[in-house]
Amino acid sequence: MGPLLMLGAGRMGGALISGWRRAALLSPGDLMIRDPHPGDEARAAIAQGALHDPDPAAMGRAGVVLLAVKPQLWREAAAEVSEALSADAVIVSIAAGVPAGDISTAFGGRAVARIMPTTAAAIGQGAASLYASDPRAAAVAQTLFAAVGVVVELADEDLMHAATAVSGSAPAYLYAFIEALEAAGAAAGLSPQAAQSLVRATITGAAALLAQGGDDPAALRRQVTSPGGTTQAALEVLMGEGGFGPLIDQAVAAAVARSRALGA
């Protein structure tokens, strides 16, 4: 695969550095970082031998270029390095919404894979949607992201918008739910500390049960819902008119629309 040149090493780039180092996929010596203000993980990798702001000759040795700047800045980041890269360097972009064809053009026609990752890649529990029309780029992206979680390859680039809305953006939905449940627990009389401990352990335990496989979420839900019980009373609100179904549909549609706008 060759050394990896990371363009942008903020929150997501840093999570990937952690995950790849944890998976022993990448050592600091295999890493070059271009970022005016690298985050903590990137600074640690630089202290251990990763090249910071490599010169053009070093960039020419990169086998893979990870485009990990904010979507609004991707063209500028590409223009700064494109000429220095070798012709067979593969570009892997995690920039939300930006089409592979535009990225390939900006990088002089090089092969491109698009990935929508999640930050749990830092602990080997990421989810990554992958789209690449070029088989070599797809294989490189598979190697990088299968090392830090689950990879789902999409047949059609347009599906990246939906994948972004239900995966890339979705950890924040879950955190927002947890915040609301903790606040509701406190409003119902629990101390904030008690609400926090109970809610967090409940959510992580329920997610761990789901991760063990076996039952799907609907079956797990039925197992803990007695007819006429407390859970059913709450679910009649959450799953009733104006509940999760329409609300999540609206949220996902808003994220899809934003993803399309970022790429336009």
Ligand X SMILES: NC(=O)c1ccc[n+]([C@@H]2O[C@H](COP(=O)([O-])OP(=O)(O)OC[C@H]3O[C@@H](n4cnc5c(N)ncnc54)[C@H](OP(=O)(O)O)[C@@H]3O)[C@@H](O)[C@H]2O)c1
- Per CB under 6 A, residues contacting ligand X are 7-8, 10-13, 34-37, 68-71, 73, 76-77, 80, 94-96, 116-117, 119, 168
- 156 and 125 Cβ atoms separated by less than 8 Å: no
Q: What minimum distance in Å lies between the beta carbon of 247 and ligand X?
A: 22
Euclidean distance between CA atoms 52 and 167, whole angstroms: 31
Q: Which amino acid is at 149?
A: G
Output phi, psi for 73, to 5 deg.
-110, 5
Euclidean distance between CA atoms 204 and 5, whole angstroms: 35
Smaller CB distance to ligand X: residue 78 or 90? 78
Determine what percent of the chain falls in helix, strand and coil, rounding each to the nearest 5: 55, 15, 30
Tokens of 67: 């485009």
- 144 and 164 Cβ atoms separated by less than 8 Å: no
Q: What minimum distance in Å lies between the beta carbon of 171 and ligand X?
A: 7
Smaller CB distance to ligand X: residue 76 or 236? 76
Q: Which residue number places its CB atom closest to ligand X?
A: 10
Q: How far apart are the first and last CA of the chain?
A: 31
Q: What minimum distance in Å lies between the beta carbon of 78 and ligand X?
A: 9
Q: What torsion, rounded to 10 degrees, do the Cα atoms 198, 202, 208, 212 define? A: 140
Radius of gyration of the chain (CA): 21
Smaller CB distance to ligand X: residue 117 or 185? 117
Q: What minimum distance in Å lies between the beta carbon of 31 and ligand X?
A: 14
Smaller CB distance to ligand X: residue 104 or 119? 119
Q: What minimum distance in Å lies between the beta carbon of 175 and ligand X?
A: 11
Smaller CB distance to ligand X: residue 64 or 195? 64
Q: What minimum distance in Å lies between the beta carbon of 79 and ligand X?
A: 9
Smaller CB distance to ligand X: residue 71 or 209? 71
